[in-house]
Amino acid sequence: MDTSHLPKRILIPLCLSLCLCLFMASLDQTIVTVALPRIASDFNALADISWVGSAFLITSTAFQGLYGKCSTIFGYKIMILFAMFFFLVGSLICALSTGIVMLIIGRAIAGIGGAGMQSMCQIIIAVVCPIQDRSLYQGILGAAYMVGTTIGPLIGGAFTDHLNWRWAFYINLPIGAVAAIAVTSVLRHQPAPDTTWKERFARIDYLGTLLLLGWVVAFLLPLSWGGSTYPWNSAVIISLFCVFGILFVVFVLVQWKYSKEPLMPAHIFTVHRNPPLIFAASILSGMCILGIMYYVPILFQEGMGNSATIAGVKFIPFMVTIIISSVTAGVVINVFLVYRPVICLGGVLATTGAGLMTLWTRDSNVGTQIGFLIVCGFGLGWFLQGIIISAQAASRKEDLPVTTGLISFCRSLGGAIGVTVFGTVFNNALLKTLPEDVPDVSETIVAAALVQNQSILSTLSDATKNAIADANVDALRYVFYAIIALMGASTLLGFATGHVQLTKEELELIQETEEA
């Protein structure tokens, strides 16, 4: 794989083409969520609609860890085009779906590509951009991702209401075609690998790949099924967790002792303390990001009585703040050549913002709602930008693709864990707060509140509705308590990282001596 730095005349258009890829990937994740109720109605498949999201989440997380190593074998140009191909094929299958099963299969295929598009964009910038400029370009990529995430629900709602939900998938095709042409054109000068295809395929860690996919799926399936499809104490859930534990231990042993070219080389975790600390911080912060993105809109709707549209509009400042702060963090790191202060300040602000959210009540004014989100969003933008640079600065040049890919994998895995963990926290807290806030609450009302069954809740008196709203706010406060703890722990991990001077000379020295 070519790892030479590119001149700015190539780097700038490359960054723009990668922004288009990330925009498409992030747009797809949120544009579909708005269309799910209509899809469930059209296919008469309400019971299976959750699999539309779960199929994408499971495959995208499972395959996320493969792209880093494969990019060192086949080259980053081939791998990002490979990812885009699967993403577009999956999107086309979804758009043409005649039933819910076909749609779920399409989302699973799209997830394989979506994982690669997110990983490869960061990997390419890490490889071709000098370390002292990398934060700026990665901030721009982060901004593109957040723009797609922000406008996705608005576009999805417009398509669903005025055209057809299938356009939520069709839109990927023209954007993907333009992105593929742009990436191919900009990266046309990449030298061909000096090995044959047979030699390259022989370098793949097939056993490690199967074990990685196995333990990730065995871990995510019970998280998706537990408490809904099956009880948490059912034989299916317990068995899957046992399978996960066995496969994970075997995977670690294979990577450590037997693989000639492991997917996750052991020295990445030992050459410097920063990468393993950042991997752990990425899991925790990934949980927090998904928790905020998923449960704050629920609070706006179920706790404060806003419509879905109003809740989405009120959440936009949070996303916009992350965009702005990611770019400004890149500029600060680029100018002052430091990243630990960015990590620490960002983590403290994000934790403070989560703490302020616990002060929300059903009657909190809009300024308080948006203001607290802005504090948290600014902190998250700085924190996420800083931890990427921290891990990359302490990695050897040839390890950058794997290190960067692992950060994306850990963040995605954390998000998958977070949705389930916070869902459990919320449901358990609601079982506690409903009897406290709603006098003489019945089992029927409790069941309706847990699943937000509006056909039952809408028949209640205004006083009971307000009491249930208070119970939702009180229950969601426990979710924010959990986010405070996790974001605080992630910040402490950032504090524990070591400083690596962001200059070419000292970076090369670190890469040569492999300082611990």
CA dihedral sign of residues 8, 11, 13, 15: negative
- Range 465-474 average pLDDT: 81
Q: Which residues contact 255 (CB under 8 A, 6 or more apart)?
A: 205, 208, 262, 263, 264, 265, 266
Confidence of residue 92 (pLDDT cuts 50, 70, 90): very high
Residue 301 gets which letter from DSSP? I
In 226-365, alpha helices (H): 235-253, 267-270, 274-298, 308-336, 340-357
Mean pLDDT of 337-347: 87
362 exposed, middle or buried (CB, 10 Å; 0-12, 13-18, 19+)?
middle
The pair of three-digit structure tokens given for residue 433, joined into one six-digit string: 């707060």
Can you tell me whether residue 226 is helix, strand or coil? strand
Domains 1-187+197-203 and 268-516 share a fold: yes
pLDDT at 398: 72
Q: What is the mean pLDDT of residues 132-141?
A: 72
Burial of 183 (0-12, 13-18, 19+ CB in 10 A): buried
If phi > 0 it is left, if psi is from -120 to 50 it is alpha, else beta; for residue 362 that is: alpha
Q: What is the structure's pLDDT at 281?
A: 92
Residue 49 confidence (pLDDT):
64
Euclidean distance between CA atoms 477 and 379, whole angstroms: 20
Mean pLDDT of 43-55: 70
Phi, psi of 499 (to 5 degrees): -90, 130
Q: With cut-offs at 50, 70 and 90, classify the pLDDT of residue 332.
A: confident
- pLDDT digits over 179-220, tens only? 888 888 777 545 445 667 777 777 777 888 888 888 888 888
Mean pLDDT of 495-515: 54
- Which residues on adjacent β-strands are paired with residue 230? 226
Q: What is the pLDDT of residues 376-412, one digit of tens each?
A: 999 998 998 888 888 877 777 777 777 877 888 888 8
CA distance 388 to 138: 9
Phi, psi of 260 (to 5 degrees): -75, -40
Cα–Cα distance measured from residue 474 to residue 47, given in angstroms and rounded to the nearest whole number: 29
Domain 1-187+197-203 has CATH 3.40.190.10: no
Mean pLDDT over each residue of the chain, to the nearest integer: 79
Alpha helix stretches (DSSP H) within 75-130 = 76-95, 100-128
pLDDT band at 353 (very low <50, low <70, confident <90, very high): very high
pLDDT band of residue 372 (cuts 50, 70, 90) is very high
Q: What CATH number should be reported for the domain whose range is 268-516? A: 1.20.1250.20
**How much is the average pLDDT of 484-493?**
94
Q: How many CB atoms lie within 10 A of CB 233?
A: 8
Q: Is the pLDDT of residue 164 over 70?
A: yes
Higher pLDDT among residues 151 and 317, named by residue: 317
Residue 441 pLDDT greater than 80, yes or no: no
Domains of the chain by residue range = 1-187+197-203, 205-260, 268-516
Residue 1 has a pLDDT of 40
Q: Report the alpha-carbon distance of residue 252 to residue 248 in Å, rounded.
A: 6
* DSSP character at residue 117: H
